Amino acid sequence: MDFNKTFGDSEKIRIRYFEIEEFEDGYRVIDPFGFFEDLFFTKEALYLISLFDGTRTIDQVKLDFFKATNIMLSDSEILNFINQMNNYYLFYNEKFINKFEEERKKILDLEYKPIEMIENISQVKNFIKQNLTDDFENDIIALIVPHIDLRIAMDTYLKTYSKIKNLKRRIFIIFGVAHSIHLTPFSIFPKNYFTDRIVNVNNEIIEKIKNLFGYDIHFDVLAYRNEHSVEFPILFIDSLFEEFSIIPSIVAYANNKEDLKTIAYRVFEIVKNYKDDIFLISSIDLSHVGRKFGDDSYYETKDIDMEYINYILELENDKAFEFLRNSQNKTRIDGQFANYVFLEILKLLNVKKARIIEYKNYYEEITDSGVSYCSISFHI
């Protein structure tokens, strides 16, 4: 991966990508790579670091900062600020690139990746096993499932995964979404996971898929560090079945539908040879609205959600994609890309029927925000 192509010219000091949230009287700075714990910036500090955009010298940064704030920083003050930020790998430079490669290597050298975001995982698995219902169906070939917090949607999770408790298929392809920076359109995680036992990836299929792509589909392994859209399905699959394998993937972005079709066709080219053993999961949530997500206030999204869901139920991934693109996905449905690839593969597998299992909305009063989610089954 060419970082200069991704991040731009780095001849002058330039900040790299990080995320910002308003917090009390300032801002929380969040690193999607996980290289540092959250930092807290004043408005002035955030403005200062934003001036390091690769177009200014240090003297120009000082001058522009003075013009905006009437604060004249001394040479030692600004150099101290630069050094502090550099220690957090906030600038795109050799230090950051070396750290990036070092962390990637650590993950690729692992025997397995532990699922650490779920505490007391053995107890959670036992709870799942004990609370599955007998409402199962034998002709399901795929599911859309949520990835919202387990404590919020456990009833929906149990209702949904109970549908496949007697499933004979044992190769699970999980299509997750990127909640941290992801530089390639599509990736597959090549390492085994660990719950309270090892969960094996299907290396044979993964290697065959990898050979069809013109870029390294293992480049973005850092995006899987705590990716709950991948790890939650693994938890439930591992609770249901003794023997199985997984293909954990993320569909991060695409410039157009044709790029998404290409991803789907390449994956299908391999999985069609395993079609009687393959089960597909798209792990997505629906709308994200309210103050927590940058809106002035929470508002109802059911009409938008249901219009999108209806396209999904008809396997109309082109119409679903256009619906979100035409509205600039104003309610932030995060399954836009994953669902397109997922549905395209299902159509290639001649899936004809879909049924909604559940639709719900979670409202968080303290942030005046809400997230909607659903589960849908697909049948042969």
pLDDT in tens, the chain (380 residues): 444 433 333 458 999 988 888 888 889 998 888 898 899 999 999 999 999 999 999 999 999 999 999 999 999 999 999 999 999 999 999 999 999 999 999 999 999 999 988 999 999 999 999 999 998 888 999 999 999 999 999 999 999 999 999 999 999 999 999 988 888 999 999 999 999 999 999 999 999 999 999 999 999 999 998 899 999 999 999 999 999 999 999 999 998 999 999 999 999 999 999 999 999 999 999 999 999 888 999 999 999 999 999 999 999 999 999 999 999 999 999 989 999 999 999 999 999 899 999 999 999 999 999 999 999 999 98
Instruction: Tell which of 78, 102, 126 closes a domain.
Output: 102
Distance (Å, whole) CA 315 – CA 351:
9
Check whether residue 48 and residue 170 sit in a common domain: no
Residue 108 lies in a domain: no
Of 233, 238, 224, the residue nearest 108 (C-alpha): 224
Residue 289 lies in a domain: yes
- The number of folded domains in the chain is 2
Residue 107 lies in a domain: no
Instruction: Tell which of 102, 125, 152 closes a domain.
Output: 102
Residue 25's pLDDT is what? 84
Radius of gyration of the chain (CA): 22
Strand 245-251 and strand 171-176: the pairing is parallel
Answer left, alpha or beta for residue 34, where phi above 0 means left and psi between -120 and 50 means alpha: left
Check whether residue 91 and residue 119 sit in a common domain: no
Check whether residue 202 and residue 67 sit in a common domain: no
Check whether residue 51 and residue 153 sit in a common domain: no
Check whether residue 216 and residue 87 sit in a common domain: no
Check whether residue 98 and residue 120 sit in a common domain: no
The CATH number linked to 26 is 3.90.930.70
Please report, for residues 16, 86, 216, 285, 309, the alpha-carbon distance to residue 2 in angstroms, rounded to integers and kept in the order given: 14, 21, 12, 32, 38
Check whether residue 93 and residue 174 sit in a common domain: no
Look up the domain containing 291 and give its range.
113-379
Distance (Å, whole) CA 280 – CA 175:
8
Distance (Å, whole) CA 228 – CA 225:
9
Residue 136's pLDDT is what? 87
Residue 20's pLDDT is what? 87
Check whether residue 63 and residue 153 sit in a common domain: no
Residue 198 lies in a domain: yes
Check whether residue 213 and residue 172 sit in a common domain: yes
The CATH number linked to 195 is 3.40.830.10
Check whether residue 14 and residue 80 sit in a common domain: yes
